[in-house]
């Protein structure tokens, strides 16, 4: 089985980290292909960048010319998943959803710890639209930007741990979701520090994608995610930025 995992950021370093984490948890027969969009923001932290990433992710997946069995969109709280679901016949898994739906098996309520405060409303909104918000105790910002996660790993870890601890003590979270594709790999450290299960969305998404493929399930083509109707579309397939 081949799974495409698409970064929403144009940072190659993040793509590599995500793909590495994905491969680490993948089943023996699963091949992970990390993809970086051809255009968009180096790091996605807001609505404009997220909308641009939405299109860039669709563009990048369509440009991939081999066969594949599932697609993972590796951005936390980003736009675009519904578009991929329309365009593709294989299952599509967003790491925001995967982390949340996995966390709900582990505790009565979960919190998300993400990067900047400005991304909190995006994550909350995506969880609401996905129908996975009811058991969300809080979405908290560590104050670390996406690119700082890699540049200052020590400080990032402390900032994330601190918010995770507050989520447990103040918001009554029983599980923590790592709210950024770039946090992949921190789960074990944060679990040790907080004592609660920590869910990394990339890992959760890989298992969910594998499960769907193994069960022979894919996106319903009735109504919402039906194929786009044939029509004149200017500028697509995009060579935006190419």
Q: What residues from 205 to 234 belong to the interface with a second copy (CB under 8 A)? A: 207-208, 210-212, 214-215, 217-220, 222-226, 228-229, 231-234
Q: Which residue has the tokens 């493929």?
A: 213
Q: How many residues at the interface with a second copy, by CB under 8 A?
A: 93
Cβ–Cβ under 8 Å, residues 57 and 74: no
- Rounded CA-CA distance 164/138 in Å is 10
Q: Which is nearer to a second copy, 49 or 69 (CB)?
A: 49
Binding test (CB under 8 A) with a second copy, winner from 14, 52, 112, 177: 52
Binding test (CB under 8 A) with a second copy, winner from 33, 39, 150, 185: 39
Smallest Cα–Cα separation from 167: which of 198, 187, 139, 192? 139
Which positions from 162 through 191 interact with a second copy, judged by CB under 8 A? 168, 172, 174-175
Q: Is 23 in the site for a second copy (CB under 8 A)?
A: no
Characterize 140-169 residue by residue with b for buried, 16 or more Cβ atoms within 10 angstroms of its Cβ, and e for exposed: bbbbbbbbbbeeeeeebbebbbbbbbebbe
Cβ–Cβ under 8 Å, residues 225 and 85: yes
Q: Which is nearer to a second copy, 101 or 163 (CB)?
A: 101
Binding test (CB under 8 A) with a second copy, winner from 75, 77, 91, 201: 91
Q: Which stretch binds a second copy (CB under 8 A): 12-20, 34-42, 155-163, 177-185?
A: 34-42
Give the list of residues 6+ apart from residue 241 with CB closer than 8 angstroms, or none.
38, 39, 40
Cβ–Cβ under 8 Å, residues 87 and 60: no
- The CB-of-161 to a second copy minimum distance in angstroms stands at 15
- The CB-of-47 to a second copy minimum distance in angstroms stands at 4
Neighbours of 16 (CB within 10 A): 13
Q: Is 201 in the site for a second copy (CB under 8 A)?
A: no
The site string for a second copy over 128-167 (x = CB under 8 A, - otherwise) reads: xxxxxxxx---------x----------------------
Binding test (CB under 8 A) with a second copy, winner from 17, 58, 149, 159: 58
Binding test (CB under 8 A) with a second copy, winner from 40, 75, 77, 181: 40
Binding test (CB under 8 A) with a second copy, winner from 49, 69, 148, 165: 49
- Residue 3 β-bridge partners: 32, 70
C-alpha distance from residue 60 to each of 7, 30, 140 (Å): 10, 21, 30
Evaluate the CA torsion angle 127, 116, 56, 232 in order and state its sign.
positive
The site string for a second copy over 104-123 (x = CB under 8 A, - otherwise) reads: xxxxxx-------xx-xxx-
- The CB-of-7 to a second copy minimum distance in angstroms stands at 13
């Amino acid at each position: 089985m081949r799974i495409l995992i698409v970064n929403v950021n144009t940072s190659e370093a993040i793509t590599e980290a995500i793909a590495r984490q994905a491969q680490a948890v993948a089943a023996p027969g699963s091949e992970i292909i990390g993809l970086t969009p051809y255009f968009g923001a180096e790091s996605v932290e807001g609505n404009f960048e997220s909308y641009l990433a939405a299109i860039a992710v669709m563009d990048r997946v369509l440009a991939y010319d081999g066969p594949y069995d599932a697609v993972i969109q590796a951005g936390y709280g980003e736009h675009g998943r519904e578009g991929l679901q329309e365009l593709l016949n294989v299952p599509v898994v967003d790491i925001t959803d995967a982390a949340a739906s996995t966390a709900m098996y582990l505790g009565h309520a979960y919190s998300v710890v993400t990067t900047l405060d400005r991304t909190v409303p995006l994550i909350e909104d995506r969880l609401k639209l996905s129908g996975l918000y009811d058991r969300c105790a809080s979405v908290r910002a560590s104050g670390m930007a996406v690119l700082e996660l890699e540049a200052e790993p020590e400080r990032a870890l402390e900032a994330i741990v601190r918010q995770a601890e507050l989520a447990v003590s103040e918001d009554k979270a029983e599980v923590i979701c790592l709210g950024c594709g770039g946090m992949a790999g921190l789960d074990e450290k944060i679990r040790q520090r907080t004592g609660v299960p920590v869910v990394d969305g990339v890992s959760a998404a890989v298992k969910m994608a594998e499960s769907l493929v193994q069960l022979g399930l894919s996106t319903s083509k009735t109504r919402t995610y039906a194929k786009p109707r044939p029509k004149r579309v200017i500028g697509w397939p995009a060579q935006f930025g190419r």
